[in-house]
């Protein structure tokens, strides 16, 4: 300090500046003290309050009463309605030509494969010769029997000889019939040298190749009869009791194609492992974008279906009005004082942008339309009217094309 005074003693101007600064600081402190005292006095006066500001500007809606469809969702697989195994009935024939491939649509009676017919044609010729021989023998036996019958009673032939000629006649006739039967069998073998489609449908599998020799009963093709597929939906035992034959079903493929059909049959038993039952729905076609989409469903494909079980009344709100927090659904009601009340609700069916509210809301409640995720219990909000939508002329929309399942 002495050093500082010694220095300042040689600088009179510096001493003056320091003194002036100290006086200025003292004056500012006095002014601040008076200002705080004045503010405290003003705050203590009655009627002096600060207005609360709204935390958010919102629009309100009310729950609407309406009728919603009752639907039951299920998953399942697509399979062939009936799949025929097509094979030859003749043994030991060589495949000469194949006329159908996997994926081909065939008609009943269409040739699927041709077998080498040379050996069968030779057998047919041999059988025809046997018939001719048998007929000649039968003619000779008939003539002998006629002569024996002519001299019967004259003593030229004994009764035993006459019976022998008659028996030979009958035997020759039987041999003719046997030869004809063998000829028919060979002609049938010749007919089977062409493998024909047993029904209209689609080839789903081909296991033979040109040049192979196949045995009788060997499967060569698999045919989806009439091209018909079915969806086999899997439901629980409780859900199975709610479904009846004829119930409408909308089946959606992984590609988004939809088909509206009917339940054809319910499984008579449940799976022992899963305790679930199958519901069979015919899939004769598919509807995608209002147009028929062939091939939208294929065997082995996994698809989702919805059973239409009727309709019932419900309260609905826009989905934007519902906020999910910690696994629970909430809506936000605006009170008469514009304060927010958080209501826990139970939701149900969803139709378009509307969601069913099963409990927790009354029709007269004013609910926040959107932005509820930014609100909490007790928040003050400012309510404004929702902007009116500008009406636009509606374009004429034709009825959507639907394909009804052909149930049999």
**291 and 346 belong to one structural domain:** no
Q: State both tokens at 94.
A: 């060589």
329: domain CATH number is 2.40.420.20
Q: Give the pLDDT of residue 76.
A: 94
Residue 318, domain extent: 58-67+313-383
Apex 386 CA angle, 382 and 388, nearest 5: 155
Any domain includes 53: no
234 backbone φψ class: left, alpha, beta (φ>0; ψ -120 to 50):
beta
pLDDT at 52: 72
Query: Is 285 found in the same domain as 194?
Result: no
pLDDT band at residue 44 under the 50/70/90 scheme: very low
Q: What is the mean pLDDT of residues 17-29?
A: 49
The reply to whether 283 and 328 lie within a common domain is no
Query: Do residues 328 and 269 share a domain?
Result: no
Please say if the pLDDT value at position 396 is more than 50: no
Q: Which residue has the higher pLDDT, 328 or 291?
A: 328
Q: Which of 205-209, 326-330, 404-408 is predicted with the least confidence, judged by mean pLDDT?
A: 404-408
CA distance 146 to 169: 9
Question: How many structural domains is the chain composed of?
Answer: 3
Report pLDDT for 15. Answer: 47
Residue pair 367/63 in contact by the 8 Å Cβ criterion: yes
Q: Is a pLDDT exceeding 60 seen at residue 107? A: yes
Same domain, 263 and 365: no
Higher-confidence position of 406 and 304: 304
Question: What is the pLDDT at residue 393?
Answer: 40
Structural Rg of the chain based on CA atoms: 49
Task: Tell me: do 357 and 284 sit in the same domain.
Answer: no
Tell whether 94 and 200 lie within a shared domain. Answer: yes
**Residue 94 and residue 214 in one domain:** yes
Does 403 score more than 70 pLDDT? Answer: no
Q: Average of pLDDT values for 6-18?
A: 47
Q: Are 272 and 252 in contact (CB under 8 A)?
A: no
| CATH assignment of the domain containing 179 | 2.40.50.100
Alpha helices in 235-297 (DSSP H): 237-240
The yes-or-no verdict on residue 18 having pLDDT over 90 is no
- 302-360 residue pLDDT tens: 999 999 988 888 899 999 999 998 889 999 999 989 899 999 999 988 888 899 998 88
Q: How does DSSP classify residue 320?
A: G
Q: Could you tell me which residue, 97 or 390, shows the higher pLDDT? A: 97
Nearest to 239 by CA among 312, 306, 314, 311: 306
Positive or negative CA dihedral for 151, 156, 158, 161?
negative
Question: Other CB atoms closer than 10 Å to residue 167's CB: what's the count?
Answer: 12
pLDDT for 227 equals: 81
Predicted pLDDT of residue 89:
86
Q: Which of 197, 222, 247 is the last residue of a domain?
A: 222
Which range of 64-68, 134-138, 294-298 scores highest in mean pLDDT? It is: 134-138
Q: What's the pLDDT at 284?
A: 66
What's the whole-model pTM score? 0.60
172 contacts 165 by C-beta, under 8 angstroms: no
Whether residue 130 sits in one domain with residue 217: yes
Q: What CATH number does residue 303 fall under?
A: 2.40.30.170
79 and 300 Cβ atoms separated by less than 8 Å: yes
Percent of the chain clearing pLDDT 70 (strictly above): 79
Antiparallel, parallel or unpaired: β 381-383 and 56-58: parallel
Least confident of 99-113, 130-144, 283-297: 283-297
Residue 397 pLDDT greater than 60, yes or no = no
Residue 328 · residue 314 · CB < 8 Å: no
Q: What is the mean pLDDT of the chain?
A: 80
Q: How confident is the model at residue 21 (pLDDT cuts 50, 70, 90)?
A: low
Query: How far apart are alpha carbons 297 and 283 in whole angstroms?
Result: 8
The answer to whether position 393 is within a domain reads no
Please say if the pLDDT value at position 54 is more than 70: yes
Are residues 193 and 244 located together in one domain of the fold?
Answer: no
Out of 222, 240, 266, pick the residue that ends a domain.
Answer: 222
Distance CA 274, CA 346 (A): 30
What per-residue string of b and e applies to 67-100 under the rule 16 or more CB within 10 Å gives b? Answer: ebeebbebebebbbbeebebbbebeebebeebeb
In this structure, the answer to whether residues 183 and 297 fall within a common structural domain is no
User: Are 144 and 213 contained in the same domain?
Assistant: yes
């Amino acid at each position: 300090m002495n050093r500082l005074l010694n220095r300042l003693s040689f600088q009179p101007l510096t001493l003056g500046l320091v003194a002036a600064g100290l006086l200025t600081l003292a004056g500012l402190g006095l002014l601040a003290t008076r200002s705080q005292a004045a503010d405290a006095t003003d705050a203590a006066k009655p009627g002096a309050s600060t207005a609360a500001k709204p935390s958010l500007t919102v629009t309100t809606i009310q729950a609407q009463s309406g009728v919603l469809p009752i639907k039951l969702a299920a998953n399942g697989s697509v399979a062939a309605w009936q799949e025929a195994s097509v094979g030859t009935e003749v043994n030991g024939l060589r495949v000469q030509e194949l006329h159908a491939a996997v994926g081909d649509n065939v008609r009943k009676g269409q040739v699927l494969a041709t077998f080498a017919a040379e050996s069968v044609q030779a057998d047919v010729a041999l059988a025809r010769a046997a018939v001719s021989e048998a007929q000649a023998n039968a003619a000779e036996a008939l003539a002998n029997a006629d002569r024996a019958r002519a001299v019967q009673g004259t003593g030229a032939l004994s009764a035993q000889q006459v019976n022998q000629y008659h028996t030979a006649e009958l035997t020759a006739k039987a041999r003719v019939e046997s030869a004809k039967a063998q000829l028919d069998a060979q002609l049938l073998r010749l007919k089977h040298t062409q493998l024909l489609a047993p029904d209209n449908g689609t080839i789903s599998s081909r296991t033979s190749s040109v040049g192979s020799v196949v045995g009788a009963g060997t499967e060569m093709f698999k045919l989806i009869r009439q091209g018909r597929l079915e969806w086999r939906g899997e439901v629980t035992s409780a859900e199975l009791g709610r479904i009846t034959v004829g119930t409408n079903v909308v089946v959606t493929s992984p590609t988004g194609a939809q088909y509206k059909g009917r339940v054809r049959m319910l499984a008579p038993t449940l799976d022992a492992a899963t305790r679930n039952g199958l519901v069979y729905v015919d899939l004769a076609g598919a509807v995608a974008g209002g147009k028929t989409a062939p091939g939208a469903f294929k065997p082995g494909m996994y698809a989702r279906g919805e059973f239409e079980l009727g309709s019932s009344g419900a309260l609905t709100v826009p989905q934007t009005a519902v906020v999910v927090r910690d696994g629970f659904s909430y809506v936000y009601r605006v009170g008469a004082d514009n304060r927010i009340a958080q209501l826990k609700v139970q939701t149900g069916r969803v139709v378009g942008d509307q969601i069913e509210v099963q409990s927790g809301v009354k029709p007269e409640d004013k609910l926040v339309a959107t932005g509820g995720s930014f609100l909490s219990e007790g928040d003050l909000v400012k309510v404004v009217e929702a902007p009116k939508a500008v009406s636009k002329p509606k374009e004429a929309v034709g009825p959507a094309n639907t394909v009804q399942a052909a149930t049999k």
